[in-house]
Amino acid sequence: MTSVLSKGAKVKIELPTSMATVKVFVFVVANQYFSIPTNVINQVKFVNNDAIIEKEKYKYVIIENESIPVFKFSDVLDIKNDCQNNNKNQKETMIVIEADNIKIGFIADRIVGDQEVLHNKFNPPIIKLNLISGITTLISGDLCLILNASGLVNVMYNRSENFLNHVESTKYIETNKQKSVLIVDDSISIATYIKNIFKDTNLKTDTTFNVY
């Protein structure tokens, strides 16, 4: 630091080579701060508890006709969380992370928002942690762990891959069963003609003639 009277002061800070700035999305789990680089976040949305489907001990949501597995950050990170929302009528805060063309939804207690922070990487032996890539200090002065998005997605996807394959095939069958067309006309010939139009489709067709 250098200072010149009536001109001001100049502060020079040298950062270690192991540190770099990164834009992250900050959220809270069990009153602790965590963050994920913004470039791997597909979307952040609020979902109703009743929209989270639970089957065979797995949870998932349907977003734009795609089944996305859902996990709670507290379960993934093995953190005791007394702030979890168990009310089916309330909404959960879900962060959808996309890495290696895989999407996984993670439930957080609340979101803080974007911040540009210094990414301080860990040194051995902590560097071997699969789910955590570093640590930073937020504007508020709180310590915040930076999560390894690729590690998170790969670990949780491997847990649910077989189940998701089953869900996708079941969803396809159920979707086909639900699609049907009811043809109503007082003329049998017209109704039959229209039914033949749908003959080469996957739609189930029914006809009725007694409309009065």
For position 66, what pLDDT does the model report?
Answer: 84
pLDDT at 151: 85
pTM for this prediction: 0.65
Binning pLDDT at 50, 70 and 90, where does residue 78 land?
A: confident
CA angle 184, 189, 191 (to 5 degrees): 20
Which pLDDT score, from 0 to 100, does residue 212 have?
47
C-alpha dihedral, 167 to 168 to 170 to 171, nearest 10° = 110
Higher-pLDDT residue of 109 and 1 is: 109
pLDDT at 176 over 50: no
- Kindly report, residue by residue over 27-38, the tens digit of the pLDDT: 999 899 999 999
Asked if the model's pLDDT at residue 10 lies above 50, the reply is yes
Using pLDDT thresholds of 50, 70 and 90, give the confidence band for residue 87.
low
For residue 199, the model assigns a pLDDT of 62
pLDDT at position 97 is 92
Give the tens place of pLDDT for each residue, 89-105: 678 999 999 988 888 99
CB contact at 8 A, 119 and 136: yes
Answer whether residue 86 shows pLDDT above 70: no
Average pLDDT over residues 139-156: 88
What residues are paired with 21 via a beta bridge?
118
Give pLDDT, residue 172.
47
Residue with the bigger pLDDT between 122 and 142: it is 142
Q: Which residue has the higher pLDDT, 94 or 5?
A: 94
Q: What is the mean predicted confidence (pLDDT) over 55-78?
A: 85
pLDDT for residue 192: 67
Tell me the average pLDDT across 105-123: 88
| Amino acid letter, residue 14 | E
The percentage of residues in the chain with a pLDDT greater than 70, rounded to a whole number, is 70
